[in-house]
Structure 1
Amino acid sequence: MTTVPTVTFADGHTIPQLGYGVWQVDDAVAADVVEQALRAGYRHIDTAAAYHNEEGVGRAIQAAGVPRDELFVTTKLWNDDQGYESAIAALDASLERLGLDHVDLYLIHWASPQRGTYLDSWKALIELQKQGKATSIGVSNFPVAELEEIIEATGVAPAIHQIELHPYFQQGELRALDAKHEIVTESWSPLGQGGGELEDPVITEIAEKHGVEAGQVIIAWHLANGLVVIPKSVTPERIVSNLAAADLELTADEVDRINGLDRTPEGRQGADPANPGF
């Protein structure tokens, strides 16, 4: 069984460094693939209200029979539900769909600055943590200014910041700000979105040397950089191989070579958090 390392938040709680993401997984499919992931050994599942698959994730959790205290479940507040009271209600709705009495991590999915509600939403998450409905709280897709604003206004820094991050888009400035505030950085779209990383000569050469897949090299690179990473796959073999990347140890030179592939800011493949358009 692969042993996945953990990372400790500033609030004292821990998160498995390698998890299973379910973005763009239909609810009907989620029940099956999440159960597969749990049986393969994953203990960290990342979903969101906007994915419309929390019920499927909940069914998988029940079917797999893994003790609740061994699981780490993340879900997220969608933009339409931002605001103090609506954020409180949104987590209650997510918990009902998941069949849980609390999540281990609740995130604001996007700052969505044009709405002007991210600060009230953050205050709601602080209250939800006090109520025990979210063990830890954090944010996703926050620009520098908005991240600094919520910390200054409340005195509470997010435990984690989930952002687009892959070899061609490494976000050094934002990671440095996270580190300054003792915020763990988590990578979404860790393999890129068809941007070419899986075929990059540096990565394929390292993969061939170790006798592994390119995706495993990239996941191992995230882990070596201290990042939490949540690759997604609905292919049974890939679900297993992604988890096995936790056993792959890259050399310092190999990590440095992949670090050198950064194309920030041109490497962004997803929406711009400063103006996501939704």
Structure 2
Amino acid sequence: MNDTYLLPNGVSVPKLGLGTWRIDDNKVAQVVRDAAQIGYRHFDTAQGYQNERGVGEGIRTCGLSRDNVFVTTKLDAAIKTFEGAKEAIDGSLKTLGLDHIDLMIIHSPQPWMDFREGEHFFEGNLAAWRALEEAYAAGKLRSIGVSNFEAVDLDNLLENGSVKPMVNQILAHVSNTPFDVIDYTQKKGILVKAYSPVAHGKILDNPQLAAMAESYGVSIAQLCIRYCLQLGMLPLPKSANAEHMRVNAAVDFEISDADIAALKAVDRIKNYGDASLFPVYGGKLQADGTLVARD
């Protein structure tokens, strides 16, 4: 938690962060305070999580100076206009109750209804990116980036934007590591943040990983988090349980090259449990707001 990555603009970001997806707004402030006491200094939220207010409260009341905390939030995936993004950025600042945001990113190249359906929304992403660039220049945002972007989506901003994305936050974990996107992103000098590094908990009963974790004297979750770190990514394990948060941060060990190779080859997980309905895990959001499994 004390180690950092250096973003392309010179901003330092803690190498391990706390994810807050699906933690209720009225509970997340205490989760943030607990995590800060344990030693976490990096907290990840989003407009779509509907818990920015609570995260901001936790940041303001955790006993740490603002300069010692790194806060990430995300522009709602449906916002693909300059004015809409500009208004939403100011909205996040107000909801969080902070005078600046350390990192703000476009949550998805597509609105969730259209996620991975073929359309890349190049014009809309550039419009939203211009709003982020403007807020960055104004000092409202210390860094800017993207999430769930594929190579072609990154190229759109790299070739047409004024500021290079500093982060690409993607789904990445043992058994589902998109090496092509990771390699492309890193070759462009962009930091990869890995959300769901423990596969939404659905990899914890894997006997192969259990045996390997035992050989290191660690948990499967620790093994998975360390795997992401050794691939040069910034993992964002999510937990509301203080003991789990403490264990997740105890990853000061080294996985051997042979074991890293074995972890890269683990059979891909196909069932994320109740999360399987969400677009990033293979589900689909319909026009009426319901979530369904893809065909």
Q: TM-score, normalised by structure 1?
A: 0.91
CA deviation map 1:61-91 (0-9, x unaligned): 1221101111100001002333111111111
The offset of 1:261, in angstroms, is 1.7
For residues 159 and 262 of structure 1, what CA distance do their matches in structure 2 show?
31
Contact 1:202–1:258 (CA under 8 A) maintained in structure 2 = no
Corresponding residue number in structure 2 for 1:243: 249
CA deviation map 1:79-104 (0-9, x unaligned): 23331111111111111111111111
For residues 281 and 154 of structure 2, what CA distance do their matches in structure 1 show?
11
Structure 2 unmatched runs, 5+ = 111-118, 287-295
Identify which of 157, 165, 185 aligns with 1:158: 165
- Superposed CA RMSD in Å reads 2.2
Corresponding residue number in structure 1 for 2:91: 93
The offset of 1:248, in angstroms, is 2.7
For residues 235 and 46 of structure 2, what CA distance do their matches in structure 1 show?
16
Contact 1:217–1:248 (CA under 8 A) maintained in structure 2 = no
Map 1:48-197 onto structure 2 (within 5 A): 48-112=46-110, 113=119, 116-195=123-202, 197=203
For residues 205 and 32 of structure 1, what CA distance do their matches in structure 2 show?
35
Contact 1:106–1:134 (CA under 8 A) maintained in structure 2 = yes
Match for 1:238: what amino acid? Answer: H
For residues 267 and 139 of structure 2, what CA distance do their matches in structure 1 show?
39
Q: TM-score, normalised by structure 2?
A: 0.86
Structure 1 moving runs of 4+ over 3 Å: 113-116, 266-270, 272-278
The offset of 1:19, in angstroms, is 0.5
CA deviation map 1:251-273 (0-9, x unaligned): 22222221222639x79965259
For residues 202 and 53 of structure 1, what CA distance do their matches in structure 2 show?
36
For residues 243 and 284 of structure 2, what CA distance do their matches in structure 1 show?
34
Contact 1:23–1:232 (CA under 8 A) maintained in structure 2 = yes
Contact 2:52–2:95 (CA under 8 A) maintained in structure 1 = yes
SS of the residue corresponding to residue 206 of structure 1 reads helix
The offset of 1:274, in angstroms, is 11
Match for 1:199: what amino acid? Answer: D
The offset of 1:194, in angstroms, is 4.6
The offset of 1:155, in angstroms, is 4.6
Which stretch shows the higher mean deviation, 118-127 or 203-212? Answer: 203-212
Identify which of 208, 213, 223 aligns with 2:219: 213
Which stretch shows the higher mean deviation, 112-121 or 133-142? Answer: 112-121
Relative contact order higher in (CA < 8 Å, ≥ 6 apart):
1
Corresponding residue number in structure 2 for 1:271: 279
Corresponding residue number in structure 2 for 1:230: 236
The offset of 1:132, in angstroms, is 0.6
2:34 pairs with 1:36: yes
Corresponding residue number in structure 1 for 2:17: 19
For residues 217 and 275 of structure 1, what CA distance do their matches in structure 2 show?
27
Match for 2:257: what amino acid? Answer: A
The offset of 1:275, in angstroms, is 10
SS of the residue corresponding to residue 95 of structure 2 reads helix
Q: Percent identity?
A: 36
CA deviation map 1:22-77 (0-9, x unaligned): 00110011011111001110000000011111111111112211011111000010
Contact 2:148–2:169 (CA under 8 A) maintained in structure 1 = yes
Contact 1:114–1:275 (CA under 8 A) maintained in structure 2 = no
Contact 2:133–2:162 (CA under 8 A) maintained in structure 1 = no
